[in-house]
Copies of this chain bind each other. A is one copy, B any other.
Amino acid sequence: MDLAAYLQRRRRLVDEALKRWIPSEDAFPFQVHKAMHYSLFAGGKRLRPILALAASDAVGGLIRDVLPLACSFELIHTYSLIHDDLPSMDNDDLRRGKPTSHRVFGEALAILAGDALLTEAFHLAARPDLMKGVSPRRRIQALWHLARAAGSLGMVGGQTVDILTQGKRVDAATLEYIHTRKTGALISASVAAGAILGGATARQYRSLQGYGEKLGLAFQITDDLLDEEGEETKLGKAVGKDQSKGKATYPGLYGIPESRRQAEGLITEALHHLQSFDRRANPLRQIAGFILKRTH
Contact = CB atoms under 8 A, between A and B. Distances in A.
Contact of A140 (B31, B32, B136, B164): B136
A19 to B, nearest CB: 15
B118 A119 contact: yes
A215 to B, nearest CB: 22
Contact of A112 (B108, B109, B119, B156): B156
B156 A119 contact: yes
B108 A151 contact: no
Interface of A: 23, 27-29, 31-33, 36, 79, 83, 86, 88-89, 106-109, 111-112, 114-116, 118-120, 122-123, 126-128, 135-137, 139-141, 143-144, 146-148, 150-153, 156-157, 159-161, 163-164
Task: Tell me how many chains of this kind the complex includes.
Answer: 2
A8 B29 CA distance: 38
Given A31-B160, A156-B32, A151 B123 contact: yes
A156 B121 CA distance: 14
A115 B115 CA distance: 7
Given A126-B147, A136-B137, 11 more contacts: A23-B153, A29-B160, A79-B115, A83-B112, A108-B163, A123-B144, A126-B141, A126-B144, A128-B141, A136-B140, A140-B140
